[in-house]
Copies of this chain bind each other. A is one copy, B any other.
Amino acid sequence: MALNLRKARQIIKAAMNKGAELQLKPLSVIVLDAGGHPIAFERSDGASPGRYGIAHGKAYGAVMLGMAGQAQMARAEQQAYFMAAVNGVFGGAVVPVPGGVLVRDAKGTVLGAVGVTGDTSDNDELAAVAGIEAAKLIADA
């Protein structure tokens, strides 16, 4: 199974709904496939214009490294120069903080990743997880 557009829409809708339910600031949500390429993206009204890049960077790092934002942040705090070097390799596109969550199927295969930005990193992550679970997929945060 691969992530398709129908699943990506479900993820975005449910993540946005979670943001509304928790009264978070306006969220932006991206869904990437297993190769790190965008399937769908939405930016809420009122979000700042640079949100695509942040949402993308959270999800992209997760896919490319096979490691969610939480683990990337831990690595960045231990070895800042390592994550800086990783970003050199990936053209500066990686944003190593929570809110980048891997999407797995029931067997554990990585199908892609979701990136959420707009509120605190931890709240962004909550919304990403809610989105993934609403699509009946496994969130690995």
Contacts of A64 in B (CB 8 A): 48-50, 53
Which bracket fits the contact residues of A?
Answer: 35 or more
CA of A77 to CA of B51, assembled, Å: 21
- Total copies of this chain within the assembly: 4
Closest to A8 in B: B42
CA of A84 to CA of B94, assembled, Å: 10
A87 in the interface (beta carbon within 8 A): yes
Excluding A37-B51, A48-B66, A85-B96, 9 further A-B contacts by CB distance (< 8 Å) are: A5-B45, A35-B35, A35-B36, A37-B52, A54-B65, A54-B86, A80-B81, A88-B91, A88-B95
Contacts of A48 in B (CB 8 A): 63-67, 110
